Amino acid sequence: MEGFLSHIFKVNDGFLRITTKPLQSKFLAQLDHFSEKLLQIFQNKGGEKGHKIKSVLATKDMSDHINIRRECVLKSLTIYLNEDPNSLFKEYVPSTAEDAENDITTTVMGIYTFRRDEIREQNDVVVVIEGVKVLTNVDMMAFILLFGLIYALDLSFPDNLKYTFEFVQKIIMNLDGHRLNTKIQQLKMKLFI
């Protein structure tokens, strides 16, 4: 637990030095602030995207845990922005752990959740950058810490998730929000109606 907290403090401190904004508290507060409106927007989406989003949101309905809700909002956001949440969020059970280790070596950026069994109970959550496990046992903090590491290490957002990370950067964290991609601008307008 001490190592886990040390990693959180280091990433939070690095992000604060670079942006002058607190990472964890700002991200969680803003995500929670926008969640209800985002969920309304997502639930009104039709077609194939709407079907995928409803499938993700069904997980939220099975649990009242805030971290499950946040995870579902982030995955739904990714789908809404025409990106694949499975390219970032990967889940494995013990029977597929060997597949996970092979997958990690070829991953540019990812969040790997290892579950004890087929139900929702987590055993470990790992943040991977360039095929290396950079943080382990980070739970829901994985996305936040990955975003902070991207800033701290001056990395580019992955091309296949650039809209998701841009939304987090410019809307959730309110960093460099004056120049928005068209997709992000449209979602922002729906958020503030």
In angstroms, the CA 10 to CA 16 distance is: 10
The interaxial angle of helices 23-43 and 66-80, nearest 10 deg, is 60
- The pLDDT, as a whole number, for residue 40 is 94
- The pLDDT, as a whole number, for residue 47 is 92
- The pLDDT, as a whole number, for residue 1 is 44
- The pLDDT, as a whole number, for residue 80 is 96
Region of residue 158 (phi > 0: left; psi between -120 and 50: alpha; otherwise: beta): beta
In angstroms, the CA 65 to CA 43 distance is: 19
In angstroms, the CA 103 to CA 124 distance is: 16
Could you please report the per-residue DSSP string of the chain? Answer: -HHHHHHHHHHHHHHHHHHSS-HHHHHHHHHHHHHHHHHHHHHT--HHHHHHHHHHHHHHHT---HHHHHHHHHHHHHHHTT--GGGTEEEE-GGGHHHHHHHHTT-SEEEEEEESSSSS-EEEEEEEETTEEEE-S-TTHHHHHHHHHHHHTTPPPPGGGHHHHHHIIIIIS-SSTTS--HHHHHHHHHHT-
Local confidence pLDDT in tens for the 193 residues of the chain:
445 556 678 888 889 999 999 999 999 999 999 999 999 999 999 899 999 999 998 877 766 778 888 989 999 999 999 999 999 998 887 667 678 888 888 889 999 888 776 555 567 888 999 999 888 888 778 999 999 999 888 899 999 999 999 999 999 999 986 788 899 999 999 998 8
- The pLDDT, as a whole number, for residue 184 is 92
- The pLDDT, as a whole number, for residue 122 is 61
Domain ranges of the chain: 2-191
For residue 167, give both structure tokens.
């939304």
In angstroms, the CA 78 to CA 112 distance is: 16
- The pLDDT, as a whole number, for residue 193 is 81
The interaxial angle of helices 66-80 and 47-61, nearest 10 deg, is 170
- The pLDDT, as a whole number, for residue 77 is 96
- The pLDDT, as a whole number, for residue 125 is 86
- The pLDDT, as a whole number, for residue 84 is 94
